[in-house]
Amino acid sequence: MEQRKKRILIVEDEKNIADILDYNVQKQGYDTEVAYDGEKGLALALSGGFDLILLDVMLPKMDGFEICRRVRERLDTPIIMLTAREEERDKVFGLELGADDYMTKPFSTAELLSRIKANIRRYSGEAVVRTAKEEPEKQEIIKIGDLEINCSAYSVKKKGKEISLSKQQYELLVFLARNRGKKYRQEALLKEVWGYDDYYGEVRTVDVTVTRLRKQIEDNPSEPQYIKNKRGMGYYIE
């Protein structure tokens, strides 16, 4: 049986950039659809059936931030935001809204394609979170304080109450929990959890994911008891 091609939605109002993206993405074997304004992009995104969305920030009719917010209310489709705006607050805002990655124009086509591949692999279940141990089995249950991670059910509970986590947050928590005591810098986590083997870009992706995860699992996110950070050495769970 022939395997279905992965589908990518490109939302970009500058036609020359959209055409270049479309050409290069199709060249890698993906099916594509292009929207040149925010309203059309949102409608296509919410129609489902896409394996990844490349989303420009500055768009007519509706900006990329609003599209990202609305998509995240209904879908878990990976989103890579593209923008010419270099302000740190814009990057953080996009990631906090639920974007999986954020690239500033101009960017390397090779780097973009690498990130597309890694995000699709991770969301489709093809990526395997690497661990320091050869186990654990899928039936594994990890208990840390009041947290209980059920790896077969892909669920996390705190004091018996289930916590809703994004795929990124869950995979990061599981990785750190399976490697308790080991400290990982952002670059290492981007490789081990995100699957970016040749990643040389946005380490803020990790920081924002940790911040959002802490809000979900910590009693006091400003004084974390689970996910800690040692300056210069990285994030870890004791």
Q: What contacts 24+ positions apart, CB below 8 Å, involve 169-173?
A: 169/209, 169/212, 169/213, 169/216, 171/122, 171/129, 172/206, 172/209, 172/210, 172/213, 173/149, 173/213, 173/217, 173/227
pLDDT band, very low/low/confident/very high, at 166 (cuts 50, 70, 90) = confident
Tell me what percent of the residues of the chain surpass a pLDDT of 70: 89
Class of domain 141-237: mainly alpha
Domain with CATH 1.10.10.10 in the chain: 141-237
C-alpha Rg value of the chain to the nearest Å: 18
Residue range 179-198, pLDDT digits in tens:
999 999 998 998 888 887 76
Quick one: which of 192, 188, 187, 191 has its CA closest to 174?
192
Tokens of 132: 């320091």
Please state which of the ranges 144-158, 167-181, 196-210 shows the lowest mean pLDDT: 196-210
CATH number of the structural domain 7-123:
3.40.50.2300
pLDDT band, very low/low/confident/very high, at 42 (cuts 50, 70, 90) = very high
pLDDT band, very low/low/confident/very high, at 12 (cuts 50, 70, 90) = very high
What single-letter amino acid sits at 186?
Q
Say how far apart CA 150 and CA 128 lie, in whole Å: 16
Strands laid side by side in the 161-163 sheet: 141-144, 147-150, 155-158, 161-163
**Cβ distance 42 to 73 under 8 Å?**
no
Residue range 145-154, pLDDT digits in tens:
999 999 888 8
* pTM beyond cutoff 0.85: no
Residue range 79-92, pLDDT digits in tens:
999 988 766 777 77
Domain with CATH 3.40.50.2300 in the chain: 7-123
Q: Would the pLDDT of 135 be above 50?
A: no
Tokens of 198: 């040749």
Average pLDDT over residues 14-21: 95
Q: Would the pLDDT of 72 be above 80?
A: yes
Structure letter (DSSP) for residue 4:
P
pLDDT band, very low/low/confident/very high, at 134 (cuts 50, 70, 90) = very low
Structure letter (DSSP) for residue 184:
B
Quick one: which of 3, 91, 176, 141 has its CA closest to 185?
176
Q: Would the pLDDT of 38 be above 70?
A: yes
Say how far apart CA 25 and CA 188 lie, in whole Å: 27
Distances (CA, A) of 3 to 33, 114, 151: 19, 21, 28
Say how far apart CA 186 and CA 3 lie, in whole Å: 34
Quick one: which of 13, 73, 62 has its CA closest to 38?
62
Q: Which helix (H) or strand (E) holds 156?
A: strand 155-158
Residue range 105-129, pLDDT digits in tens:
888 899 899 899 988 987 775 444 4
